[in-house]
């Protein structure tokens, strides 16, 4: 009967192998966890900055494409182009493209009424060079600076003959 009692103690709740982790095992596990957390804390902030920068670049790319498409569509088929100031262009006698410094946007107006507001809050400035005659057509250089500091420049050629 004494052999059964010893066997019972080995398989019971007092067996050292089934009682859980030792203090050394807990300390080693905690150290590994701390090292992993330290690595994550070193890698995470630069990764978030890179993500934010990439996101901003994507938004600026979309905005610049939208702005250039709109301005190109407006000017390409115009019958007259007049640069009234560095950041304002008049075309087809009653239409204007202007930079709105309050809303940081590009405004397209027709007969004095706003028809389109482009990239509100994202544009730092827009400038138009003096239109250049290319035969019977006109070419104009447009430069847009975004609030983030990115710069885009393009030249637009009219398709209609302009005297």
Task: With respect to residue 35, please indicate whether it lies within any of the assigned structural domains.
Answer: no
| Alpha carbon distance 138, 158 (integer Å) | 6
Q: Report pLDDT for 163.
A: 65
Q: Is the pLDDT of residue 7 over 70?
A: no
Coarse DSSP helix, strand, coil percentages of the chain, rounded to the nearest 5 percent: 40, 35, 25
Task: With respect to residue 12, please indicate whether it lies within any of the assigned structural domains.
Answer: no
Count of domains for the chain: 1
CA dihedral sign of residues 152, 155, 158, 162:
positive
Task: With respect to residue 144, please indicate whether it lies within any of the assigned structural domains.
Answer: yes
Q: Report pLDDT for 13.
A: 55
Task: With respect to residue 119, please indicate whether it lies within any of the assigned structural domains.
Answer: yes
Tens of pLDDT, residues 20-38: 888 899 999 999 999 999 9
SS3 128: strand
Task: With respect to residue 32, please indicate whether it lies within any of the assigned structural domains.
Answer: no
Q: 92 lies in which domain range?
A: 43-157
Task: With respect to residue 1, please indicate whether it lies within any of the assigned structural domains.
Answer: no
Structure tokens belonging to residue 110? 């027709």
């Amino acid at each position: 009967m004494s052999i059964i009692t010893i066997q019972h103690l080995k398989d019971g709740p007092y067996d050292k192998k089934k009682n859980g982790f030792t203090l050394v095992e807990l300390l080693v596990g905690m150290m590994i966890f701390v090292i992993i957390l330290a690595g994550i804390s070193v890698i995470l902030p630069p990764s978030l900055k890179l993500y934010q920068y990439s996101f901003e670049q994507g938004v600026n790319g979309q905005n610049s494409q939208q702005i250039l498409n709109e301005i190109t569509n407006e000017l390409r088929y115009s019958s007259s182009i007049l640069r009234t100031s560095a950041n304002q262009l008049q075309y087809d006698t009653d239409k204007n493209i202007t930079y709105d410094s309050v809303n940081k946007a590009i405004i397209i107006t027709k007969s004095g009424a706003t028809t389109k507001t482009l990239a509100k809050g994202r544009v730092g400035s827009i400038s138009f060079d003096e239109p250049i005659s290319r035969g019977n057509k006109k070419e104009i250089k447009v430069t847009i600076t975004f609030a983030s500091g990115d710069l885009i420049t393009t030249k637009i050629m009219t398709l209609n003959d302009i005297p």
